[in-house]
Structure 1
Amino acid sequence: MSGLRLNLQAIKEPLGFIKALEWLTAIFAFASCGGYSGTSIVTLFCKDGKNETLKFAFSYPFRLSHTLLVKNNTSLCNVTVPETHLVGSSVSSSQFFVTVAVLNFFYCMAALVLYLGYMHVYRNSNFVPKMDFLMTTIFAVFWLTCTSAWAKGLQNLKYATGTVGIVATLAVCREEGVACEVTELASMRSLNVSVIFGFLGLILWVSNAWFVYKETRWHTMRYTAHPGQAPRSI
């Protein structure tokens, strides 16, 4: 009774179909964030009419304090500038987001194997559906917290690598007659997409919680304990 019984019908039901969507969402979420790297160029407009350029690259996990902006004792606009790094860090929020997405990926794979090959065991068990419901609820909470944290971390990243953040970090930009501007900003489209997939994952897991709950004995006992009654006459 507990052997493998391949049944693709489960993927056509909301329980399996939503799980497949969650699996795809997890792939796009961690790929769009964890695989990111970008390069920006800062232009310094000096008072003598000469322009200077700086190039810096940053990537996941966005440990900006390790990203070198200016090498030690570099002359910019006739001003000697000490070694300068970017300010800020989005390490914790980005790594939390990617970790949740990866765990989501593996759990969805395991759940799909269970649904497609062992649905008869799943529906005859009291413990397995309850654990599935518990894990679904936990992942829904994780998606909410990690995506919210990463959305804030991305906002901080955009500030630190934008013109306002660079001017605040680089002292020479505040010298009289010197203006700084990020003239080539690294595209963060994929990072924006990762946040979208994060909130999409949240919606899918919250939606899926209901269908998983219906497979538990809690749902069954609720209706057997309170059988429908005929409406009272007025």
Structure 2
Amino acid sequence: MAGLQLDLGPLKEPIGFIKILEWIFAIFGFATCGGFSGKTALKVKCKNANDTHLLNAAFQYPFRLNSIVVVPKSICNQSEDTFLVGDFSSSAEFFVAIAVLAFLYCMAALVLYVGYFHIYRDGNRGPMIDFVVTVIFAFLWLVSSSAWGKGLTDLKYSTYPENIITNVKVCGGLAECSSAGVSGMGSLNVSVVFGFLNLILWCGNAWFVYKETSWHAPPEPPKQDPGNVAAPPPQNP
């Protein structure tokens, strides 16, 4: 490829080293959120039939809880199914989308740094585009991490068995309901932490990318060749 010059030197500089960290942290971000699956469980004892049922409601990314049946209508002769409450897909999918896009951009940037860093530094457009994109990603990490943090709080509330019982009609009359446990959400907590760590990394990287632009250090004017300097005009006697 024309202009390709492999050089691992940029990876030892902050601009390249931080990009590697961003690439790794983006992987952890979408893996811990997009790969999660859990369940919440209720123990339902019907008063008329005097039988007990252990009900498990499994949920996973993208966390559309309102489509998950927690108490089927066959339990205690109900007239309809009872669903979990809440749809947190928008914040979860937004967070994962930003993480995936950041992962792809970091890969492209690392290829540019390793193979075409001489062109990147000689020109002015590359660093400016890199800086603008880095600032945009820093802002998107702030928004997506905040939104997903709020969504995770609501998700925990909606899947907590004691809160589910208050929303299940059968538990108020036809049956006695009790909690049978809920899956831990440690990996989802970690995803929020990685989201804000990515925010810090991208903000820090923005400074080092900014230093590569002409906004921080305007290009020096071309030096004049002494051999091309015009001779001074002759002085009159």
Q: TM-score, length-normalised on structure 1?
A: 0.87
- Look up the SS of the partner of 1:220 in the other structure: coil
Contact 2:66 2:84 in 1 (8 A): yes
Q: Percent same amino acid at aligned positions?
A: 51
Structure 1 residues 67-216: aligned runs within 5 Å: 67-75=68-76, 80=78, 82-175=80-173, 178-181=176-179, 183-216=180-213
In the alignment, residue 201 of structure 1 is paired with which amino acid? N
Alignment: residue pair count: 220
Given that residues 46 and 174 in structure 2 are in contact (C-alpha distance below 8 angstroms), is that contact kept between their aligned partners in structure 1?
no
Looking at structure 2, the residues matched to 167 and 101 of structure 1 have their Cα atoms a distance apart, in angstroms, of 35
Provide closer, same or farther for how the CA distance between residues 90 and 177 of structure 1 changes in structure 2, counting only shifts above 3 A. closer
The one-letter amino acid of 1:72's match is K
Please tell me the root mean square deviation across aligned C-alpha atoms, in Å.
2.3
Q: Which amino acid aligns with 2:181?
A: E
Residues 90-138 of structure 1: CA distance to partner in whole angstroms, max 9, x if unpaired? 1000000000000000000000001111110010111110000000000
Q: Which residue of 1 aligns with 2:61?
A: 60
CA contact (8 A) 1:70 1:81 kept: no
Q: How far apart are the structure 1 equivalents of 2:210 and 2:10?
A: 16
Deviation at 1:139, TM superposition (A): 0.1
Task: Please state if 1:37 is matched with 2:37.
Answer: yes
Q: Which residue of 2 aligns with 1:24?
A: 24
> Aligned-pair distance for 1:175?
3.0
Unaligned runs of 5+ in 2: 222-237
Aligned match of 2:228: none
Amino acid at match of 1:86: L
Question: 8 Å contact 1:70–1:82 — kept in the other structure?
Answer: no
Select the structure of larger CA radius of gyration: 2
The offset of 1:195, in angstroms, is 0.5
State TM-score, norm by structure 2. Answer: 0.86
CA distance in 2, matches of 1:108, 1:101: 10
Alignment-mate amino acid for residue 196 of structure 1? V
* Runs of 5+ consecutive residues of structure 1 not aligned to the other structure: 225-234
Alpha-carbon distance in 2 for matches of 1:99, 1:69: 29
Paired with 1:135 and 1:64, the residues of 2 have a C-alpha distance of: 34
Distance (whole Å) between structure 1 residues aligned to residue 198 and residue 178 of structure 2? 39
Equivalents in 1 of 2:175, 2:123: separation in Å? 75
Q: Which residue number corresponds to residue 234 of structure 2? A: none
